[in-house]
Amino acid sequence: MGKVSKLKLAVLISGGGSNLQAIIDACNAADYPAEIVLVFSNQLDAGGLERGRKAGIRAEAIPHKGYPGGREAYDAAVSTLIEESGADLVVLAGYLRLVSESFVTRWKDRLINIHPSLLPSFKGLHVHQAALDAGVKFAGCTVHYVVPEVDSGPIIAQAVVSVLPGDDAGKLAQRILKQEHRIYPQVIRWIAEGRVSVNDKGIVTVADAPQADFAEINPALEPG
């Protein structure tokens, strides 16, 4: 039998790349059905670029500040780079830059993001403090498809953490980040295995997903 083809990923980052590292670690497993073919950043000094290089992955950066032609031209250049890499799925992992509508359209249904709140609550920035200020008892993270409206795309999966007495934004963020590192590789696996579909109302179904190994993720379906 021939070698099974793996889903090819382009991972876009702006900083240290801890979610990138979680995906790299997942891809190192022989049975993981995806591989990273490109790490890209809009920041030349992003720490995640070195993570990619250490893992033997092509890592590129194009500074966005002062890029001739503005956002549309910049995103067109990024799209070209992704296309050249052969990536099937674009994974935003701490990519702190709003992408243009043309970029979203180009990668429709092949562009995912992770956001550190339980969407649709607390979109945008400073979400951990917003959650604390609202007095919620649960917080978490969401993996979703990207649409032109910020943090509004179809939700694929969520992971939940309790908000504890004495939490500040930093403590809550660290606890949520641990769940991000677990849920993102899981969702990529589901997509690579062809389990994820979206209906015309924007509701995601994960078909025949095995029970996750941690209770906080949804969907967490029974085996079989």
Kindly list the catalytic residues. 115
Question: In 47-151, at which residue ranges do the beta strands (DSSP E only) sit?
Answer: 59-61, 89-92, 111-115, 138-145
Q: Between the CA of residue 224 and those of 156, 190, 203, 210, 211, what are the distances in Å? A: 20, 15, 22, 7, 9
Find all residues with CB under 8 Å of 40, minimum gap 6, and list them: 10, 11, 12, 13, 59, 60, 61, 62, 78, 81, 82
- Cα 96–Cα 215–Cα 117 angle in degrees, nearest 5: 25
Q: Is 22 helix (H, G, I), strand (E, B) or coil?
A: helix
Sequential DSSP letters for 146-188: --SSTT-SPEEEEEEEEPPTT--HHHHHHHHHHHHHHHHHHHH
Q: Which residues of 149-174 are buried (b: 16+ CB within 10 A; e: fewer)?
A: eebebbbbbbbebebeeebeeeebbe
The DSSP symbol for 45 reads T
| Residue carrying structure tokens 């979203």 | 104
